[in-house]
């Protein structure tokens, strides 16, 4: 009799565990995400795996343009998180992303940064916001080797936002011949960290990656298109798991992770 009661108790305890745990069929989903999201999305993915028993997450981080082209070419992705709207819309137009799943998950802002050893060379009365007349070109004229590190404006969203801002503020012509275009925004940041570029334009979220850069000034958010990260589900045979991860990306837990890594709240709907 005692053994019977004990077995029933164990059974009921197990039922209780199953009732409070998200149990899914064991499988792996692959997240293609913009390089600037590396740390935040990895942390969010770890939280998702912990909450959804048996679910593992694999990550591929690179420039949004690179990832979009790979997905369109048939790369085995389940979720795409793009740093700009154009590349997300390209995947939807190509029919590889389910359009009605696309939604914004985070925002960001551009900042002008430099290495600590360069701070002493900056004017004491330098504006803290980059606006028309900001002495960006003179700051790069410290010597013939000074460069402005940015994501390559030809295809990297951070570089495209940077060019938009510099053009709207009337600063592009003065610095366009002093650029160090990089394959993604983190490469631009690393160039500044290593002292190989005098200045860099990166995302505000990148500041959490290293204490060895200093913010020179911030860019006004209306100087460029809104920096909105869009996530969408890639058409595949793992749609259910992908939908679960997409939902998790906008959960309170994920929102807090984005904030801790320097991302701003969602700015706009995908339109």
pLDDT at residue 25, rounded to an integer: 53
- Is there a domain that residue 268 lies in? no
101 and 232 assigned to the same domain: yes
- Is there a domain that residue 124 lies in? yes
45 and 65 assigned to the same domain: yes
- Is there a domain that residue 16 lies in? yes
- Is there a domain that residue 165 lies in? yes
In this prediction, residues 252-256 reach a mean pLDDT of: 93
Q: What is the tally of structural domains in the chain?
A: 2
CATH code at 154? 3.40.190.10
- Is there a domain that residue 267 lies in? no
9 and 99 assigned to the same domain: yes
117 and 96 assigned to the same domain: no
All residues at 6 or more sequence positions from 20 whose CB lies less than 8 Å from its CB, including other chains? none
The pLDDT-based confidence of 174 (bands split at 50, 70, 90) is very high
For residue 8, pLDDT beyond 80: no
β-strands 110-114, 199-203 pairing: antiparallel
* Tokens 């992303």 belong to residue: 97
For residue 19, pLDDT beyond 70: no
99 and 125 assigned to the same domain: no
All residues at 6 or more sequence positions from 48 whose CB lies less than 8 Å from its CB, including other chains? 55, 57, 244, 245, 248
The pLDDT-based confidence of 154 (bands split at 50, 70, 90) is very high
Q: Is the pTM of this model over 0.75?
A: yes
170 and 132 assigned to the same domain: yes
Q: Tens digit of pLDDT for each residue in 209-231?
A: 888 899 999 999 999 999 999 99
Q: Tens digit of pLDDT for each residue in 38-63?
A: 999 999 999 999 998 878 999 999 98
The domain in which residue 132 lies consists of 110-223
In this prediction, residues 190-204 reach a mean pLDDT of: 94
Do 113 and 216 form a contact (C-beta atoms < 8 A)? Answer: yes
User: 166 φ, ψ to 5°?
Assistant: -65, -35
- Is there a domain that residue 191 lies in? yes
- Is there a domain that residue 266 lies in? no
Q: Tens digit of pLDDT for each residue in 101-149?
A: 999 999 999 999 999 888 888 888 999 999 999 999 999 987 777 899 9
Give the residue ranges of DSSP H helices in the chain. Answer: 2-20, 38-51, 64-72, 85-93, 136-140, 157-168, 172-175, 185-193, 239-249, 252-260
Q: Which two tokens stand for residue 117?
A: 């050893």
102 and 236 assigned to the same domain: yes
179 and 88 assigned to the same domain: no
89 and 130 assigned to the same domain: no
138 and 49 assigned to the same domain: no
- Is there a domain that residue 10 lies in? yes
93 and 180 assigned to the same domain: no
Give the C-alpha separation, 267 to 269, whole Å: 7
Q: Which two tokens stand for residue 164?
A: 């938009």
115 and 217 assigned to the same domain: yes
N residues, the chain: 271
């Amino acid at each position: 009799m005692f053994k019977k009661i004990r077995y029933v108790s164990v059974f009921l305890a197990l039922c209780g565990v199953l009732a409070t745990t998200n149990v899914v069929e064991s499988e792996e989903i692959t997240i293609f995400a913009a390089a600037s999201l590396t740390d935040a999305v990895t942390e969010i993915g770890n939280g998702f795996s912990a909450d959804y028993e048996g679910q593992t997450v694999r990550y591929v981080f690179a420039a949004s343009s690179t990832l979009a082209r790979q997905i369109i070419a048939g790369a085995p992705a389940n979720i795409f998180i793009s740093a700009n709207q154009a590349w997300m819309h390209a995947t939807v137009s190509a029919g590889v992303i389910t359009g009605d799943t696309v939604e914004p998950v985070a925002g960001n802002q551009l900042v002008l940064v430099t290495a600590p050893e360069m701070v002493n060379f900056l004017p004491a009365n330098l504006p803290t916001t980059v606006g028309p007349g900001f002495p960006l070109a003179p700051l790069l004229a410290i010597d013939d080797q000074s460069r402005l590190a940015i994501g390559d404006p030809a295809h990297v969203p951070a570089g495209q936002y940077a060019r938009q801002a510099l053009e709207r503020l009337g600063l592009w012509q003065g610095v366009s011949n002093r650029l160090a275009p990089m394959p993604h925004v983190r490469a631009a940041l690393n160039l500044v960290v290593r002292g190989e570029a005098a200045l860099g334009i990166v995302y505000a979220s990148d500041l959490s990656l290293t204490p060895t850069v200093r913010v020179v000034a911030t860019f006004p958010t209306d100087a460029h298109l809104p920096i909105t990260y869009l996530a969408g589900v890639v058409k595949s045979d793992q749609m259910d798991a992908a939908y679960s991860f997409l939902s998790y990306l906008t959960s309170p837990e994920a929102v807090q992770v984005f904030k801790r890594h320097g991302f701003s709240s969602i700015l706009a709907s995908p339109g």
